[in-house]
Amino acid sequence: MQAFNTVAFIGFGHMATAISTSLLGSNYHPEHICAYGGQQQTRERTLKMGIAHKPISDITEDVLILAVKPQMYKDALAPYIGRLSPHTVVVSIMAGVSINQLKEYFPKNPVVRAMPNLAATFAKSVTALYTSEAEYLQPVKKLTDSFGQSFVLDDEAQINAFTAVAGSGPAHFLYMMNQMQKFLQRHHFSEDKARCIVDQVVDSTAVLSQQGQENFSETIERITSKGGTTEVALSYYKEIGFSYFIDESLKRSTQKSIELER
Ligand SMILES: NC(=O)c1ccc[n+]([C@@H]2O[C@H](COP(=O)([O-])OP(=O)(O)OC[C@H]3O[C@@H](n4cnc5c(N)ncnc54)[C@H](OP(=O)(O)O)[C@@H]3O)[C@@H](O)[C@H]2O)c1
Number of Cβ within 10 Å of residue 259's Cβ equals 10
Fold designation for 169-261: ProC C-terminal domain-like fold (1.10.3730)
CA 42 to ligand 1 centroid distance, Å: 10
Mutate to test the pocket of ligand 1, among 15, 144, 159 (most ligand atoms within 8 A of CB): 15
Average pLDDT, the chain: 95
Residue range 5-22: mean pLDDT, rounded: 96
**Residue range 148-196, pLDDT digits in tens:** 999 999 999 999 999 999 988 999 999 999 999 999 999 999 999 999 9
The dihedral over CA atoms of 183, 189, 195, 199, expressed in degrees to the nearest 10, equals -80
89's enclosing H/E stretch is strand 89-92
118 has pLDDT over 90: no
Q: In this predicted structure, what is the pLDDT of residue 27?
A: 85
**pLDDT at res. 2:** 57
- Residue-wise pLDDT tens digits, 51-63: 999 999 999 999 9
pLDDT of residue 149: 96
Amino acid 194 reads A
Cα–ligand 1 centroid distance for 84 (angstroms): 20
**Residue 78 contacts residue 52 (beta carbons within 8 Å):** no
Q: What are 202-225's pLDDT values in tens digits?
A: 999 999 998 878 999 999 999 999
Nearest to 113 by CA among 103, 124, 125, 123: 103
Ligand 1 nearest-atom number relative to CA 94: 45
Report the pLDDT value the prediction gives residue 1, as an integer from 0 to 100. Answer: 55
Stretch (H or E) spanning 65: strand 63-66
**Protein residues with CB under 6 Å of any ligand 1 atom:** 10-16, 37-42, 67-70, 72, 75-76, 93-95, 115-118
Give me the CATH code for the 7-156 domain, please: 3.40.50.720
Each residue's pLDDT tens digit, 77-93: 999 999 999 999 999 99
Q: From the CA of 118, give the closest atom in ligand 1.
A: 3
Residue 51 is predicted with a pLDDT of 96
Domain borders along the chain are 7-156, 169-261
Answer yes or no: are the C-beta atoms of 85 and 30 closer than 8 Å: no
Please give the distance, rounded to the nearest whole angstrom, from the Cα atom of residue 185 to the centre of ligand 1.
Answer: 38
Q: Atom of ligand 1 at shortest distance to CA of 56?
A: 32
